[in-house]
Amino acid sequence: MASIEENFTKLETIIQRLENGEISLEEAFAGYSEGMKLLKDCNDQIDRVEKQVLKLTEDGTPEPLDAR
């Protein structure tokens, strides 16, 4: 699986090609489909990282970020 940075770079390239407007409708659709898959992969990667993030309590004990 590509890193999140690699996925963002690929997304940026696809967006530039779509904005350029010099591609066929078929190429635009393929780019859009690939971009949506990359976006989902990025969201999944971000979710995994967020679950690993810990916060420190006042006494320095780590606890899950979503703990209350």
Residue ranges making up the domain that contains 22: 4-64
Examine the pLDDT at 14 and tell me if it is beyond 60: yes
> Can you say whether the dihedral through the CA atoms of 35, 39, 45, 46 is positive or negative?
positive
Does this model's pTM top 0.95? My answer is no
Q: How many domains does the chain have?
A: 1
- Residue 56's pLDDT is 60
- Note the pLDDT of residue 61: 74
Cα separations (Å) of 35 from 20, 22, 41? 15, 17, 10
Write out 33-56 in H/E/C secondary structure: HHHHHHHHHHHHHHHHHHHHCEEE
Q: Mind listing the pLDDT tens digit for each residue in 17-52?
A: 999 988 999 999 999 999 999 999 999 999 888 777
Give the mean model confidence (pLDDT) for residues 2-17: 94
